[in-house]
Chain A
Amino acid sequence: MINKQVANVKEALKGLSGGMTLMLGGFGLCGIPENAISEMVDMDIKNLTCISNNAGVDDFGLGLLLKKNQIKKMVSSYVGENDEFERQMLSGELDVELIPQGTLAERCRAAQAGFPAIYTPAGYGTEVAEGKETRDFDGKMYVLETAFKADFSFVKAWKGDAAGNLMFKATARNFNPNMCGAATITIAEVEELVPAGSLDPNQIHIPGIFVQRIFEGKGYEKRIEKRTVRQKT
């Protein structure tokens, strides 16, 4: 077995520095790499380009990095829950590239799978397609979207082992599997690091080959963005 385990978040983030391009898994605050984000806040690295579906909320997730002006550019599909983000974007402090959610996922997957680009119908005829090559396939128009290039990918999984094999839980899966192996170095933080051999190979969502470093995270807050319940009748 090739051992990918590192002792802690500090060791996991070795080599990370300002000005780099990062991928961060998660949808809203669900399935985000909480430990890696906290460590980046402490490291105080700046000028980061972050590829992540959302930008957190004002005081959690990527919002923590935004508040300290550590992010230069965001590549996201939806940023509606973060006032500070909106302020920095409208004032021009923050460079923002908004792209369709499926395109974001597929540009990650293309990087993971070795495709330089993909054609998608999403965004054709809109400002998202401006300046991009378009092409007709069987009478329908498609936009050429290139694979992402990133230095580090930060993902959060439910369970993992020292070989880097990962399992995700419920909708905390989201972009995390698509970002594994899509950057030069993929760092997985897991809620539970189990002994190698104890995960059923049939049940593994992401094989360890896509992960370079893995560690067990601490103190997951797992904040709920919109708590909605129904009453027992």
Chain B
Amino acid sequence: MLDKIGIAKRIAKEVKNGYYVNLGIGIPTLVANYVREDIEVEFQSENGVLGMGPFPFEGEEDADLINAGKQTITTLEGASFFDSATSFSMIRGKHVDLTILGAMEVSGNGDIANWKIPGYMVKGMGGAMDLVASAENIIVAMMHTNKKGDSKLLKRCSLPLTGVGCVKKVVTNLAVLEVTSDGFKLLERAPGVSVEAIQNATEGPLIIDGEVPEMDL
């Protein structure tokens, strides 16, 4: 089974040379730390920066320079700043190649819910609805089950949706799954995790086609 860093490491392998990538808050933010160093990638943050770098050294923080998670950041060579409308033009206009975000629930038809638990938690969707409605390549990073142990990979999402039929791939602590027209296709198992354990933790339709390899981290 993977921890959050393991999930980030596995997703980092999906990041290809020349990609512009938008990383959501939480596990997705960690992905930047594990991208191969021999490829050129630019990270976009929807509050208005392209070419985001690592956190600043202590004493070098700039209140005017943050990411979408409101964390202080730095920029790399070639970076640019822009307004919010331009930022979402990059996203809706499909100029961003890969979007990685977290979720509370994903369904077998690619619906995603990650912004609201009615009557309990309402933080808002931020840029998530724009991202999932437009991006061609969306990977969800999340734990396979919630804190109560219930599956987060469902037949139908029970929470209010963020987007419909948009998720292409899900990477969890247990598995890598591709969203197909028939449901979740199991592509890879996390180290030491059996197909049966993944079946037990998946409520939505799970397709197992032959031998399922273990992830290569």
Task: Say whether A105 contacts B84, CB under 8 Å.
Answer: yes
Chain B residues 46-88 with CB under 8 Å of chain A are 46-49, 54-58, 60-73, 81-85, 87-88
B147 at the interface (CB under 8 A from A): no
By a CB distance below 8 angstroms, the chain B residues around A125 are 111, 161, 163-165
Task: Say whether B83 contacts A77, CB under 8 Å.
Answer: no
Contact of B122 among A79, A101, A108 (CB under 8 A): A79
Task: Say whether B88 contacts A101, CB under 8 Å.
Answer: yes
Contact-size category for A: 35 or more
By a CB distance below 8 angstroms, the chain B residues around A103 are 129-130
The answer for the CA separation of A230 and B58 in the assembled complex, in Å, is 7
Nearest-neighbour CB distance to chain A for B38, whole angstroms, equals 21
Contact of B82 among A172, A173, A227 (CB under 8 A): A173
A121 at the interface (CB under 8 A from B): yes
Closest to B63 in A: A222
By a CB distance below 8 angstroms, the chain B residues around A123 are 125, 129, 133
> How many inter-chain residue pairs (CB < 8 Å) link A and B?
186
Closest to A232 in B: B57
The answer for the CA separation of A174 and B69 in the assembled complex, in Å, is 14
The answer for the CA separation of A181 and B207 in the assembled complex, in Å, is 53
By a CB distance below 8 angstroms, the chain A residues around B122 are 79, 86, 89-90, 96, 98
Nearest-neighbour CB distance to chain B for A92, whole angstroms, equals 11
By a CB distance below 8 angstroms, the chain B residues around A28 are 47, 66, 70
The answer for the CA separation of A156 and B195 in the assembled complex, in Å, is 55
Contact of A105 among B85, B111, B133, B164 (CB under 8 A): B85
B162 at the interface (CB under 8 A from A): yes
**With A100-B127, A178-B83 known to touch, is A229 a contact of B61 (CB < 8 Å)?**
yes
Closest to A76 in B: B124
B134 at the interface (CB under 8 A from A): yes
B210 at the interface (CB under 8 A from A): no
The answer for the CA separation of A29 and B65 in the assembled complex, in Å, is 11
B126 at the interface (CB under 8 A from A): yes
By a CB distance below 8 angstroms, the chain B residues around A127 are 160-161
Contact of A101 among B82, B83, B84 (CB under 8 A): B84
Task: Say whether A122 contacts B129, CB under 8 Å.
Answer: yes
B119 at the interface (CB under 8 A from A): yes
Task: Say whether B127 contacts A222, CB under 8 Å.
Answer: no
By a CB distance below 8 angstroms, the chain A residues around B129 are 100-103, 122-123, 126, 128
A68 at the interface (CB under 8 A from B): no
Most buried by B among A126, A127, A170: A126
The contact string, 1 if C-beta is below 8 Å from chain A, for chain B 97-124, is 0000000000000010001100100111
Task: Say whether B92 contacts A120, CB under 8 Å.
Answer: yes
The contact string, 1 if C-beta is below 8 Å from chain A, for chain B 130-141, is 100110000000
**With A31-B64, A106-B85, A178-B84 known to touch, is A122 a contact of B49 (CB < 8 Å)?**
no
By a CB distance below 8 angstroms, the chain B residues around A176 are 83
**With A128-B129, A232-B57 known to touch, is A30 a contact of B83 (CB < 8 Å)?**
no
- 29 sample A-B contacts, Cβ–Cβ < 8 Å, listed by A number: A27-B48, A27-B70, A28-B70, A77-B124, A77-B126, A78-B125, A81-B70, A98-B125, A100-B126, A100-B129, A100-B130, A101-B126, A103-B129, A122-B92, A124-B133, A125-B164, A170-B49, A170-B81, A171-B47, A172-B64, A178-B85, A222-B64, A226-B71, A228-B55, A228-B73, A229-B56, A229-B58, A229-B61, A230-B56
Chain B residues within CB distance 8 Å of chain A: 45-49, 54-58, 60-73, 81-85, 87-88, 91-92, 111, 115-116, 119, 122-130, 133-134, 160-165
Chain A residues within CB distance 8 Å of chain B: 27-31, 53, 76-81, 86, 89-90, 96, 98-106, 108-109, 120-128, 158, 168-178, 205, 222-232
